[in-house]
Structure 1
Amino acid sequence: MDLEIRHLRAVTAIADAGSLHKAARVLGVAQPTLTAQLRRIEESLGGALFLRLPDGCRPTPLGHQLLARSRSVLADITHLTAEMRAAASSARTPQLRIGSTPTSVLPLWTRRLGVRYPEAQLTAQADVSSNTLLRMVAAGQLDVALVHEMEGTHLRVPEGLRLLVFLEREPAFLSISERHPAACRQTVPLQELADEQWMMDKAADGEWEILYRTLLAAGLTPRVLHGDYSTNRLLVTAGQAVTLCQATSPGADGVVPRRLEGDPIGYRWLLAARSDAQLVSVHDDLRAAYQEAVEQAPLYQAMGPLAFGPAPSTTPSRTSAPRCSAPDEGAAEPSPRVP
């Protein structure tokens, strides 16, 4: 006879209750039935699991060994059952999986989407690499992604993705310590940064290459140090480096955004999905969130009207979450790359 989960539960109940009589009541079976079951388990294992004493049952060494493993197995079964029930419930719940390169717009966007689609399970993921996010959308790991493309570079767009130009151009701003000499001015010429060390995340597609090219074109000798976004912020706050930031960046923790004179570097923001319907379902809230972020960035707001791309023509429902295709459902019909 092979051990089954019900056998482990019976042995554990006997040990916890201290007697066959009490364990039988806990399990909701007759005592003779439980006694016969225990006897079959012991015969199958080849040894006694409990000492039958006048005041109850006590585990034998073999019983202690089985109990130790039984409790672990039963705990795993309980956790597995809970996970599978949660997964089944999640599968029945509409999901909306949003991706974005790091931007202050993201939390404003997800907040609005949560209001529009209250019945949906909303998840958000940020990644510094636009190309990584595009691959995740194409693979069905994300439903929609907001990505930026540096001027002078081209993203690698997987076949079949739908792309919408969300914003034609956002100028790249300068992120510097609030103690930096240039922090007292709203606009900073590149030439005043000739002696600065620039900190860039090489995983951010195209950013360091364009910065390097721009500095050379301005007659500067670039000093570029590579690090992740967290390290960037630490060194910029300490005044040991400067870096690029988005115009919507509010600045915080000793760091302030400043406009680069002439706006020599810019981004184009793109919205990517596997279907037009998915683009439509999130576009209006993204646009409102972006405008809200601009209102919190005085330097950017003072630059005037935003160069938004054309909006989708279909109005999204305010109550139904967008349909999220499973990865194996296939991609939408290929569309030409956004020019």
Structure 2
Amino acid sequence: MCAIADSGSVRKAARQLGMTQPSLTTQLRRIEKALGGQLFFREPTGSRPTALGHSVLCRARPIVAEMRALVEEIASASVREQGARLRIGSTSSRAVAGWLRRLRVRLPETDTTIRIDVSANALLQMVASGQLDVAFVHEVEGAPLRVPEGLAEHELIAREPQFIALADSHPAAAQSIVRVQDLADDQWMVDPTVDGEWAGLRRIWAAAGINPRVVHGDYLTAVDLVTAGEVVTPCQPTARLRPGMAVRPLHGDPLAVRLFMACRHDGTPAAPVDALLADLTSAYMEIAWASVAYREWLVRHDGPLPVGT
């Protein structure tokens, strides 16, 4: 109807719409039959709307405009999904916020999303199945992850020591380095849903000859219990200090993880893998050197982070 009114004839409207004139005439008659009245006067010079036609056109034009806008919006969304989207997964890490900040500067037109999961194996599987483009995970020493075929590993840190979080009133907190044996009488909190965590802790307890009491829970809850003096718990060396809590390295660094970024062998659609790793490395180094306990550990171990390529 809008095409006929705008062009002034069924013949011209049919050409604009890519239809034959008889087909358009048939459609117009069906519309008129459905509405119960004539919509156009057919004249030698063309077609002009009737009073009913004017009334219908007033309603039709906004509908056509909305439909056109809807089609354009869907088309734009489709383009974004195909090329300008980056789906990131990560296990818990303070480096993630800085990584995202850098990626948004590098890729301002890209829709970047983040998924956090305690299970590194689950994240790796999501990358393999196409649900994520890239994942930043940690692998507990002695408990290898199940890396699906078709994924490439880009190592960030070959061996990151895991520290211990304890109440600042704990006798061991007075030491700069804590021995595992010093915590034999403490209750340890462990999150069994973190891949490899339970196996790693049992290994270091066995090596130290201790069998401590264990409570299972998540590490967010652990912070409150640590500051209350109820538990001690392993933590990342970059862990944020809270009032009443101390973070100390363990003697000999018996518990460690490997940090790496994984993506499919064909890379990611939004950015080169080298750029993603560079931004992640920069974000990690920022929070590493800002953490007092980790910075002191790094100085004792001769300076710069052992960043892999």
TM-score by length of 1: 0.64
On the 8 A contact 1:150/1:207 being kept in 2, the answer is yes
Q: Does 1:286 align with 2:280?
A: yes
2:249 counterpart SS class: strand
Q: Which residue of 2 aligns with 1:170?
A: 160
Task: In structure 2, give the amino acid aligned to 1:234.
Answer: D
Task: In structure 2, give the amino acid aligned to 1:308.
Answer: V
- Name stretches of at least 5 consecutive residues in structure 1 with no aligned partner: 1-27, 35-79, 312-339
| 1:25-40 equivalences in 2 (<5 Å) | 30=55
2:127 counterpart SS class: helix
On the 8 A contact 1:102/1:126 being kept in 2, the answer is yes
Please state how far the C-alpha of 1:84 moved relative to its aligned partner: 6.2
Identity %: 47
Q: Does 1:198 align with 2:197?
A: no
Please state how far the C-alpha of 1:88 moved relative to its aligned partner: 4.4
Q: Which residue of 2 aligns with 1:230?
A: 220
Please state how far the C-alpha of 1:87 moved relative to its aligned partner: 4.9
Task: In structure 2, give the amino acid aligned to 1:245.
Answer: C
Task: In structure 2, give the amino acid aligned to 1:230.
Answer: L
Q: Which of these residues, 212, 230, 251, is aligned with residue 240 of structure 1?
A: 230
Please state how far the C-alpha of 1:92 moved relative to its aligned partner: 6.2
Please state how far the C-alpha of 1:131 moved relative to its aligned partner: 0.4
On the 8 A contact 2:249/2:293 being kept in 1, the answer is yes
Q: Does 1:142 align with 2:132?
A: yes
Distance 1:195 1:125 in 2: 37
Q: Which residue of 2 aligns with 1:306?
A: 305
Please state how far the C-alpha of 1:93 moved relative to its aligned partner: 6.3
Task: In structure 1, give the amino acid aligned to 2:288.
Answer: V
Distance 1:237 1:292 in 2: 26
Structure 1, residues 167-206: CA drift from partner, whole Å, max 9, x if none?
1110000011233232233211111101111111111011
| 1:316-331 equivalences in 2 (<5 Å) | none
On the 8 A contact 1:93/1:121 being kept in 2, the answer is no
1:220–1:281 Cα change, 3 Å? same
TM-score by length of 2: 0.70
Please state how far the C-alpha of 1:234 moved relative to its aligned partner: 2.5
1:193–1:92 Cα change, 3 Å? same
RMSD of aligned alpha carbons: 2.6
Please state how far the C-alpha of 1:212 moved relative to its aligned partner: 1.4
- Which structure is larger by alpha-carbon Rg, 1 or 2? 2
1:213 counterpart SS class: helix
Distance 2:82 2:147 in 1: 31
Q: Does 1:101 align with 2:91?
A: yes
- Name stretches of at least 5 consecutive residues in structure 2 with no aligned partner: 1-52, 60-69
